[in-house]
């Protein structure tokens, strides 16, 4: 059996008729950027999240940058985030002119630890803190009530990075609705993925939404007249039309992910591997199913030899990457972040995968353990 780690094409094949019709509608309509499809998708996605406004942009990275710029981030300001995340999170902070300050994570959920955030804020000396940027990682929401409490105590903006958590919730409230603003990515492998790039800024504040629209298109209120220095970050009509189709199936496909993850839990529960753990108040949507083992590379090669692809999300924390070594670590270190990155392994998981593939993967892991008694 060949088992890919993820398979965006499978999503297309499942919804081909509706997606092809949506693309044809756009092509025949003759309007290809920021038109009716984008406006409709913005309304539908905002309604799905339970927020008032959504603004389509070109990527999740742009969405984070635009949200930060609305917050008035300027050169030298400090934005608190995690180092165990996609590089895009920190790239957006730097593009906005801010300095990232890295906070440690919870070792079970891999999301921002509120106590580490508090320690980091207390340890800051001389810098200007401006915002907190928690990341809802692997489909698991960060503990937003505690993060919001800490941020409000220090009068900081909160911007949620929701790129991996479409449909996830904490205490029954969807991610994207907790902070002042939030950013989503529609990269093809996401739970809600386009067939190109795309992103969304969401908020319930009409002023923030209007400013986001100005920032995404050169600061224009009327065409060709810039009222502020904006950027070019526009969501294509074709991608919006595709996402409108896929949004209708998001909850159903998240439930499939959860069922597959539950089967993994059942079959790997006594394996000795560290398997994902959820906060009791979290609704996890399993963008990734991430296990841990100190013999990761051996297991990865073994699975590869049996047609099973895996991923590493992510092979090196951002603060240990050459481009971002200048970030602040005001809390005295990131021990949990630096403990896990050598052990994490993302097993195959996508809605169209099927239980047979999960059983094949777990049987291969069991055979590897039998061949490797010290695992």
Q: In total, how many domains does the chain have?
A: 2
Residue 234 forms beta bridges with which residues? none
SS3 track for 37-48:
HHHHHHHHHHHH
Asked if 298 and 237 sit in the same domain, the reply is no
Backbone angles phi, psi at 364, to 5 degrees: -65, -40
Mean pLDDT (whole number) for 268-276 = 95
Question: What would the two tokens of residue 127 be?
Answer: 């810098």
Q: Among 198, 215, 247, which residue terminates a domain? A: 247
* Tens-place pLDDT, residues 278-328: 999 999 999 999 999 999 999 999 999 999 999 999 999 999 999 998 789
pLDDT value at 84 more than 80 = yes
233 & 344 share domain: no
- Asked whether residue 42 is assigned to any structural domain, the reply reads yes
Examine residue 329 and state whether it is found in any structural domain, yes or no: yes
Q: Are residues 241 and 297 in the same domain?
A: no
**Do 242 and 259 sit in the same domain of this protein?**
no
If DSSP codes are grouped into helix, strand and coil, which group holds residue 93? Answer: helix
Tallying the residues shown for the chain, one arrives at 375
1 falls within a domain: no
130 and 66 share a domain?
yes
Same-domain pairing of 240 and 257? no
Say what the pLDDT of residue 375 is. Answer: 42
Sign of CA pseudo-dihedral 230, 216, 195, 22? negative
Nearest of 217, 188, 211, 185 to residue 199 by alpha carbon? 185
Domain containing 216: what range?
Answer: 8-104+111-247
The answer to whether residue 33 is domain-embedded is yes
**pLDDT tens digits, 17-72:** 999 999 999 999 999 999 999 999 999 999 999 999 999 999 999 999 999 998 88
Q: Is the peptide bond before 314 cis (omega within 30 degrees of 0)?
A: yes
């Amino acid at each position: 059996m060949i088992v890919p780690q993820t398979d965006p094409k499978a999503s297309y094949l499942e919804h081909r008729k509706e997606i092809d019709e949506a693309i044809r509608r756009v092509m025949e309509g003759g309007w290809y950027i920021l038109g009716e499809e984008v406006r409709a998708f913005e309304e539908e996605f905002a309604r799905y999240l339970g927020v008032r406004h959504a603004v389509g942009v070109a990527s999740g990275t742009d969405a984070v940058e635009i949200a930060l710029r609305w917050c008035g981030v300027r050169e030298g300001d400090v934005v608190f985030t995690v180092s165990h995340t996609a590089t895009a999170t920190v790239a957006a902070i730097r593009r906005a002119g801010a300095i990232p300050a890295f906070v440690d994570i919870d070792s079970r959920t891999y999301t921002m630890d509120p106590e580490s955030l508090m320690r980091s804020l207390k340890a800051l000396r001389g810098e200007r803190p401006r915002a907190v940027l928690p990341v809802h990682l692997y489909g698991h929401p960060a503990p937003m009530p505690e993060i919001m409490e800490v941020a409000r105590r220090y009068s900081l903006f909160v911007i949620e990075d929701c790129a991996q958590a479409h449909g996830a919730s904490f205490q029954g409230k969807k991610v994207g609705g907790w902070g002042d603003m939030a950013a989503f990515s529609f990269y093809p492998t996401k739970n809600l993925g386009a067939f190109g790039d795309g992103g969304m800024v969401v908020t319930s504040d009409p002023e923030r939404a209007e400013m986001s629209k100005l920032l995404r298109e050169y600061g224009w209120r009327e065409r060709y007249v810039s009222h502020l220095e904006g950027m070019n970050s526009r969501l294509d009509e074709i991608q919006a039309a595709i996402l409108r189709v896929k949004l209708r199936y998001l909850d159903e496909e998240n439930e499939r992910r959860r069922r597959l993850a539950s089967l993994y839990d059942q079959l790997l529960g006594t394996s000795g591997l560290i398997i994902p753990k959820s906060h009791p108040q979290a609704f996890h949507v399993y963008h990734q199913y991430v296990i841990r083992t100190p013999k990761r590379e051996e297991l990865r090669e073994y699975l590869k030899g049996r047609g099973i692809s895996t991923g590493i999300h992510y092979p090196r924390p951002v603060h240990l990457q050459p481009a971002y070594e200048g970030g602040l670590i005001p809390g005295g270190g990131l021990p949990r972040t630096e403990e896990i990155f050598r052990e994490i392994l993302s097993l195959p998981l996508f809605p169209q995968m099927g239980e047979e593939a999960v059983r094949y993967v777990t049987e291969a892991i069991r055979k590897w353990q039998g061949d490797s008694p010290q695992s």
